[in-house]
Amino acid sequence: MSEMDYMNECTARDVITMLVEKRSMSIAQAMDAFYNSKTFDNLINEETGLYFQSPVYIYDVLSKELETKSDNIE
């Protein structure tokens, strides 16, 4: 496992934990929401540099993405 892969896995763990705690999602729902998001795609894309950001920042980005998705569904 590369250093970047390890960083991304640690970030994923932390963001998923925050989704469970702050949004009362199940672990499965949180994993699905994160791993199927544009935020995750940007996290694993080295060119975006998102992997340099803190899990809290990435959670905020993901939250905005999820809110935008739910607004578009209604």
- At 72, the pLDDT band (50, 70, 90 cuts) reads low
Q: What is the pLDDT of residue 36?
A: 97
Report the distance separating Cα 4 and Cα 33, nearest Å: 21
**Mean pLDDT in the chain?**
93
Q: Which domain holds residue 12?
A: 3-73
Number of domains present in the structure of the chain? 1
DSSP for 2-33 reads: -HHHHHHHHHHHHHHHHHHHHH---HHHHHHH
